[in-house]
Chains A and B, each alone.
Chain A
Amino acid sequence: MIDKRVTSCAAAVADIKDGDTVMIGGFGEAGSPIELIHALIDHGAKNLTVVNNNTGSGRVGLAALIENGQVAKMICSYPRTANSLVFPELYRSGKIELELVPQGTLAERIRAGGAGVPAFYTKTSVGTPLAEGKEQRNFDGEDYVMERGLKADFALIKAKQADRYGNLTFNKTARNFAPIMAMAANKTLVQSNEMVELGDIEPENVVTPGIFVNSIVEVQSPQQESKLVKEGVVYP
């Protein structure tokens, strides 16, 4: 029998090890799996490389994971936002490494990683500082930069609905990086607002097929990052 459900966020993240690469879904707070991130803080794995579009907000979720000293390196496209309290200071004092990647290149690197493609060429960043040191090639009269596919040990993502096979749907723009991160990670851990029976999600409407998912925990009423930030909540 295939049953990917686990009973708690703590159980879902239990196998994450020091030094692992962890992709975390979300674009700002939309799609951020905040309960899984908090479980990873409780778990304590250190020296992580984290892949996310941003670096979190306030002192909860991803920002709290960084503040807790668990992240050695961020791979992201936009490491500052209106409520970035944690990352800028650590970066300026040299306590965290940053690999800055254009957002579309980041997305394609993740998709390539998940599809077994080790590298690809893109026009994005040609002639800019972000192309420095990368192989370049001309195709049909245009310059391209080679970018590497990106894989991870774990992905932490948030879904709207999940069944026990791991088939997923998402809510609106909270989908963002989740489906491609699910493909690029060795183990994909999902927090889902709702667990449903097999067949409840029409096969035509499955966004992420269960083959890309390893563990699912139901979190019925997830916390809202912006609300926590507004209230000045600090995790843990």
Chain B
Amino acid sequence: MNNVAHENEQIGWSREEMAQRCAQDIEDGSYVNLGIGIPEKVAQYVPEGREVIYHTENGLLGMGNAPTDEELDPDLINAGKKPVTAVPGASYFHHGDSFAMIRGNHIDVCVLGAMQVSEKGDLANWSTGAPDAIPAVGGAMDLVAGVKTIYIITQHTTKTGAAKILPECSFPLTGRGVVNRIYSDLCVIDVTVSGLKLIELAPSVSFDYVQERTDVVLTNASNMSV
């Protein structure tokens, strides 16, 4: 397990392909909040013909692409504090309303990264709990508590090959039983009441290969052979 090096071996999905795979599952008409990092890339891959509205928790519904130099306005940024644009039909609002959209179940989908996910759908993605770390949570706990569907995009294992999908998270939780689906570089996994169900494998990845890198027993519900 220590020698798993996806990028060198070219096994499984790239970061772009993970984002692209996730984007297939975002329905037309959805209100979507994308976390910082790979989740941000999902917006580039939403299939043509679908209209999706992006929410950023600092007060914009209808977030567009990065600005040109002429469009750049330091007062128009996303939750990662990067400059963005507003699409025609966008709206601005204050933080109270923005998180009422989240807490009040009005946002359909949120895509986030993960440090660890448990078989019950617990998520840890804000702190390793290290004593000298500066704790910083931002809006992650609000998003997982309030958004209807939580998708996670993550490498299947850590850089050193340790499993990130575990019976229990060892890091402090962001939320308990909140994750609906995991998109890793190796597969797509649903969190169900009867445990983790692998529903799709990346090309040339076998079920056994995934299972070896997962500390939880998976159900194979993919169409691929073992």
Contacts and interface: CB of A to CB of B under 8 A. Distances in A.
Interface of A: 27-31, 53, 77-82, 84, 87-88, 91-92, 98, 100-108, 110-111, 122-130, 170-180, 207, 224, 226
Contacts of B139: 77, 102-104
A99 to B, nearest CB: 10
A27 B81 contact: yes
Nearest to B177: A127
Given A88-B134, A103-B139, A130-B141, A30 B75 contact: yes
Interface string B38-63: 00000000000000000011111000
Given A100-B137, A104-B57, A176 B95 contact: yes
Contacts of B17: none
Category for how many chain B residues contact A? 35 or more
Given A103-B99, A104-B99, A127 B122 contact: yes
A128 B175 CA distance: 6
A127 B173 contact: yes
- Which 6 residue pairs are nearest across A and B when measured between Cβ atoms? A104-B142, A104-B99, A127-B176, A174-B75, A107-B95, A103-B139
Contact of B103 (A84, A100, A108, A110): A108
B77 A124 contact: no
B145 interface: yes
Interface of B: 56-60, 73-77, 81, 86, 92-96, 98-100, 102-103, 122, 132, 134-142, 145-146, 172-177
Contacts, number: 147
Contacts of B86: 172
B135 A104 contact: no
Chain B interface main SS type: loop
B145 A123 contact: yes
A173 B141 contact: no
A122 B145 contact: yes
Most chain-B Cβ atoms within 10 A of its Cβ — which of A77, A92, A103, A179?
Answer: A103
B20 to A, nearest CB: 28
A124 B142 contact: yes
Contacts of A53: 95
B95 A180 contact: yes
Contact of B172 (A129, A224, A226): A129
A129 B136 CA distance: 12
A128 B169 CA distance: 11
A111 B175 contact: no
A105 B75 contact: no
Given A125-B141, A176-B94, 11 more contacts: A84-B134, A98-B135, A101-B137, A104-B103, A104-B139, A104-B141, A108-B103, A126-B175, A128-B141, A172-B92, A178-B94
B59 A103 contact: no
Contacts of A110: 95-96
A87 to B, nearest CB: 7
B66 to A, nearest CB: 14
A93 to B, nearest CB: 11
Given A27-B58, A130-B141, A180-B94, A92 B73 contact: no
